[in-house]
Amino acid sequence: MKAKIITIVLLVLAVTLSAREKPEVFTQHNLGVNNAGTSLTLRFEKGKEHNHPLFAVWLADENGQFIQTLYVSKSIANGVFEHGDRKTGRWMHGEIQRPAALPYWAHQRGIVNEYGTYLPTPRQPEADAYTSATPPASFVLNMKTEKPLKGKYKIMLELNQSWDWNETWHNNLFPDDKEYKTSSQPALVYAADIDTNTTTEVEMKPVGHSHYSGKDGSLTTDLSTITTALKIAKHISVTLQ
């Protein structure tokens, strides 16, 4: 009897260890493939709070000035969500503006649409070369810039996940602000400095959060009120190829 119990315990331990050692699967996505510029690889490993966030990745100069979009989630890129038609008020496929989703990227991009805001629309979408459906889990973005890079730059990433309320960013904080309620904790912004003289992998780190309802393009560097949103990503890095 004791031998059977020991055997069962060992089997349970073996299964547990096997599950823990199972490698993370990364989907591959290619952006800007027809460009003549520099190739970069961004590696995103999901964290324990990951639940289908929206993303934007862009290139900036060493002072943080926007140069070009490298990737943005399709629903933001074309202004059409699978579940979000405000014209009918129904939970269905349709055009919608979500200014709180990725406001820092939108304002840095600086393209004004027909509504006088900064998000892409079906009439003024982001280029197809830089968008795809949002990856469901961990992923690798193989990106290519429009022009060859030389010198120092920044790679920026913004992410946002709805319904991630916490004690500070709760549902009743701004009861009359419908855009805030689409965002919960504000979008997080990550950054990494890259140099074309090296191909060393560089970790992207959080540098602030965006405006809670997307009313402007501000960046707040104080992250003391951000909790679970910091666990959407376990690790993000970028490498020059």
- DSSP code string of the chain: -HHHHHHHHHHHHHHHHHHHHPPPP-EEEEESTT--S-EEEEEEEE-TT-SS-EEEEEEEETT--EEEEEEEEHHHHHTEETT-BTTTTBSSSEE---TTTSHHHHHHH----TTSSSS--SSSPPPGGGEESPPSSSEEEEEE-SS---SEEEEEEEEE-TT---SSS-TTSSTT-TTGGGTSSPPEEEEEEEETT----EE-EEEEEE-TT-SS--EE---TT--GGGGSEEEEEEEE-
In this prediction, residue 91 carries a pLDDT of: 45
Residue 208 lies in a domain: yes
Q: What is the distance between the alpha carbons of residues 189 and 203, in angstroms, rounded to a whole number?
A: 13
Residue 170 lies in a domain: yes
In this prediction, residue 83 carries a pLDDT of: 55
In this prediction, residue 199 carries a pLDDT of: 84
In this prediction, residue 98 carries a pLDDT of: 93
Residue 171 lies in a domain: yes
Q: What is the pTM of this model?
A: 0.87
Q: What does the block give as tokens for 35?
A: 């460009």
Count of the separate structural domains present in the chain:
1
In this prediction, residue 24 carries a pLDDT of: 86
In this prediction, residue 86 carries a pLDDT of: 46
Residue 19 lies in a domain: no
In this prediction, residue 8 carries a pLDDT of: 45
Residue 7 lies in a domain: no
Residue 3 lies in a domain: no
Residue 126 lies in a domain: yes
In this prediction, residue 23 carries a pLDDT of: 83
Question: pLDDT below 70 — which residues of the chain?
Answer: 1-21, 82-93
Provide the domain limits for residue 45: 25-240
In this prediction, residue 18 carries a pLDDT of: 46
Residue 11 lies in a domain: no
